[in-house]
Chains A and B, each alone.
Chain A
Amino acid sequence: DGGITQSPKYLFRKEGQNVTLSCEQNLNHDAMYWYRQDPGQGLRLIYYSQIVNDFQKGDIAEGYSVSREKKESFPLTVTSAQKNPTAFYLCASSGQAPKGESGANVLTFGAGSRLTVL
Chain B
Amino acid sequence: AQKVTQAQTEISVVEKEDVTLDCVYETRDTTYYLFWYKQPPSGELVFLIRRNSFDEQNEISGRYSWNFQKSTSSFNFTITASQVVDSAVYFCALSEVYTGRRALTFGSGTRLQVQP
The 10 nearest A-B residue pairs measured at CB: A42-B108, A103-B97, A109-B45, A43-B106, A112-B43, A103-B95, A111-B44, A42-B106, A48-B103, A42-B109
Q: Which of B52, B104, B108 has the most chain A CB atoms closer than 10 A to its own CB?
A: B104
Asked whether any CB of chain A lies closer than 8 Å to the CB of B31, the reply is yes
Chain A minimum-CB-distance residue to B29? A103
Cα distance A107–B103 in the bound complex, in angstroms:
9
- Residues of B that sit less than 8 Å from A by CB: 4, 6, 9, 31-33, 35, 37, 42-47, 50, 52, 91, 95-97, 101-109
Task: Please name all residues of chain B whose beta carbon is closer than 8 Å to the beta carbon of A106 when the two chains form the complex.
Answer: 35, 47, 50
- Tell me whether B43 and A31 are in contact (CB under 8 A): no
- Tell me whether A103 and B102 are in contact (CB under 8 A): yes
Cα distance A67–B38 in the bound complex, in angstroms:
29
Chain A minimum-CB-distance residue to B6? A42
- Known contacts A42-B4, A43-B106; 7 additional CB pairs below 8 A are A42-B6, A42-B108, A103-B95, A103-B97, A106-B50, A107-B47, A109-B46
Task: Please name all residues of chain B whose beta carbon is closer than 8 Å to the beta carbon of A111 when the two chains form the complex.
Answer: 42-44
Cα distance A90–B107 in the bound complex, in angstroms:
15
Q: Which of A67-91 contact B (CB under 8 A)?
A: 88, 90
Asked whether any CB of chain B lies closer than 8 Å to the CB of A102, the reply is yes
Cα distance A41–B33 in the bound complex, in angstroms:
21
Q: Which of A92-115 contact B (CB under 8 A)?
A: 92, 101-112
Asked whether any CB of chain B lies closer than 8 Å to the CB of A2, the reply is no
Task: Please name all residues of chain B whose beta carbon is closer than 8 Å to the beta carbon of A103 when the two chains form the complex.
Answer: 31-33, 95-97, 102
Task: Please name all residues of chain A whose beta carbon is closer than 8 Å to the beta carbon of B4 when the two chains form the complex.
Answer: 42
Cα distance A58–B2 in the bound complex, in angstroms:
13
Q: List 19 A-B contacts (CB under 8 A).
A: A40-B9, A43-B91, A45-B104, A45-B105, A48-B102, A56-B101, A58-B103, A90-B43, A92-B45, A101-B52, A103-B96, A104-B95, A104-B97, A106-B35, A106-B47, A108-B47, A109-B44, A110-B44, A112-B44
